[in-house]
């Protein structure tokens, strides 16, 4: 625990210092200049991902020296796969920040990330067929890398949501006595997010960029696969519905946002892969919330479901059918979100019409 606190404190200090330097001495680097830019706020340096990868690599190296326990060969391979996968994800995002790469090329890079971590033994065990496990692992990784990227649409949103998600995953790791190096890396990453959030909270001075969102997407994919997708009952077979519940609860907001945006864009016969100001956070603003209030509201919803996931993990044996009660609440929340989304959309249309009429 002392090491965890050490990594938190010094990870935060290092992250805050790096982001301060990036803001003050590299303002023109990483500033997106794209004609169809659809960010919610004005253009700013998209360099936050650099602080993530620096803190991650420094503290991953430091953890390898401080940890005295000797992991098994399988655990060593998974740790190595996590580190290499995170570096690859960061580089994919960094290239996209610099060159605005073709979406198909970016997708191939994300598939490569999923394939890489799967080849190092980071697999979702939904079947006794290894091929199906590979396919689902790649799908989950690509989904998270895209959903975290899409969620990065308002000051502080992705940072706050990622802090809650990673904290809930680490709680499973700590209480169940898994590999300590993951706890140290996780705490360092949380610290780097908090240090970044100092400058990313509304009104922000810096964005994380695709390098940051792709970094977080692959990291959260690795951690979730290792510590949440293995939740099964003994003797229940390979495929169990309950193993889907924890990841669904832990990643509530990314799932809600991605599913909502995809559905409504398809209904409008619009490509779901094209950016736009039609995310959950935007529609809460259309309802009358301020930017930081919308972020705070989504963050609190994420926190609630993270707590529910924690409760299920440790107390499901004492509360019969808790999975189904929790999933019913999850479904109900998604339904309410859709209602608010539609109301926000209508108000935005009305406001745009009023604005046009006032210009005549």
Q: Mean pLDDT check: name the lowest of 8-17, 261-270, 336-345.
A: 261-270
State the virtual CA torsion across 294, 296, 297, 302 in degrees, nearest 10: 130
Mean pLDDT value across residues 88-95: 96
pLDDT at 209 (0 to 100)? 92
The answer to whether 192 and 58 have CB atoms below 8 angstroms apart is no
End-to-end CA distance of the chain: 65
- Residue 211 and residue 47: Cα distance in Å, rounded? 8
Mean pLDDT value across residues 217-240: 83
pLDDT at 28 (0 to 100)? 54
| Residue 323: pLDDT band with limits 50, 70, 90 | confident
| Residue 178: pLDDT band with limits 50, 70, 90 | low
Phi, psi of 46 (to 5 degrees): -105, 65
- Residue 337 and residue 359: Cα distance in Å, rounded? 33
Distance set, CA 294 to CA 149, 288, 301, 327, 337 (Å): 18, 9, 11, 24, 12
Mean pLDDT value across residues 238-242: 73
Largest CA distance in the chain: 73
pLDDT at 199 (0 to 100)? 94
Size (the chain), residues: 360
Strand-pairing partners, residue 31, are: 45
Which helix (DSSP H) or strand (DSSP E) does residue 184 occupy? helix 180-200
How many beta carbons lie within 10 A of that of residue 329, not counting itself? 14
Mean pLDDT value across residues 157-168: 95
**pLDDT tens, position by position, 63-74:** 888 876 777 888
For the record, the structure tokens of 11 come out as: 């990870």
By residue range, what is the domain housing residue 86?
2-358
pLDDT above 70 covers a percentage of the chain that reads: 88
- Residue 239 and residue 133: Cα distance in Å, rounded? 11
Mean pLDDT value across residues 23-50: 64
Q: What is the 3-state secondary structure (H, E, C) of 212-224?
A: HHHHHHHHHHHHH
For the record, the structure tokens of 328 come out as: 């019913």
pLDDT at 295 over 90: yes
| Number of domains the chain is built from | 1
Mean pLDDT value across residues 306-335: 82
Q: Share the mean pLDDT of the chain.
A: 87
């Amino acid at each position: 625990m002392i090491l965890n606190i050490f990594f938190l404190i010094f990870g935060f200090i290092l992250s805050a210092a790096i982001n301060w330097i990036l803001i003050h001495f590299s303002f023109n680097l990483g500033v997106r200049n794209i004609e169809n830019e659809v960010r919610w706020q004005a253009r700013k340096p998209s360099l936050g991902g650099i602080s993530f990868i620096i803190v991650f690599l420094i503290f991953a190296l430091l953890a390898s020296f401080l940890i005295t326990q000797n992991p098994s060969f399988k655990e060593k391979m998974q740790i190595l796969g996590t580190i290499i996968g995170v570096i690859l994800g960061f580089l994919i995002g960094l290239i996209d920040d610099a060159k605005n790469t073709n979406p198909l090329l970016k997708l191939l890079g994300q598939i490569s990330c999923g394939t890489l971590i799967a080849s190092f033994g980071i697999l979702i065990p939904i079947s006794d067929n290894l091929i199906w496990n590979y396919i689902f692992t790649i799908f989950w990784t690509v989904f998270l890398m895209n959903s975290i990227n899409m969620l990065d649409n308002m000051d502080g949103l992705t940072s706050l949501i990622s802090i809650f998600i990673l904290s809930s995953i680490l709680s499973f790791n700590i209480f169940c006595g898994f590999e300590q190096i993951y706890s140290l890396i996780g705490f360092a990453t949380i610290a780097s997010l908090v240090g970044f959030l100092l400058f990313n909270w509304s009104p922000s001075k810096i964005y994380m960029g695709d390098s940051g969102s792709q970094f977080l997407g692959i990291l959260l994919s690795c951690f979730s696969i290792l510590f949440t997708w293995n939740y099964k009952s003994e003797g229940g077979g390979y495929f169990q519905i309950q193993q889907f519940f924890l990841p669904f609860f832990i990643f509530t907001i990314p799932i809600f946002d991605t599913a909502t945006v995809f559905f409504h864009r398809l209904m409008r016969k619009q490509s779901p892969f094209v950016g736009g100001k039609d995310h959950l956070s935007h529609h809460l603003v259309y309802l009358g919330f301020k930017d930081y209030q919308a972020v705070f509201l989504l963050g609190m919803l994420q926190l609630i479901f993270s707590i529910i996931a924690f409760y299920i993990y440790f107390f499901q044996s004492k509360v019969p059918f808790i999975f189904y009660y929790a999933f019913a609440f999850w479904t109900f929340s998604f339904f309410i979100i859709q209602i608010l989304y539609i109301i926000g959309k209508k108000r935005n249309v009305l406001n745009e019409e009023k604005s046009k009429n006032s210009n005549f």
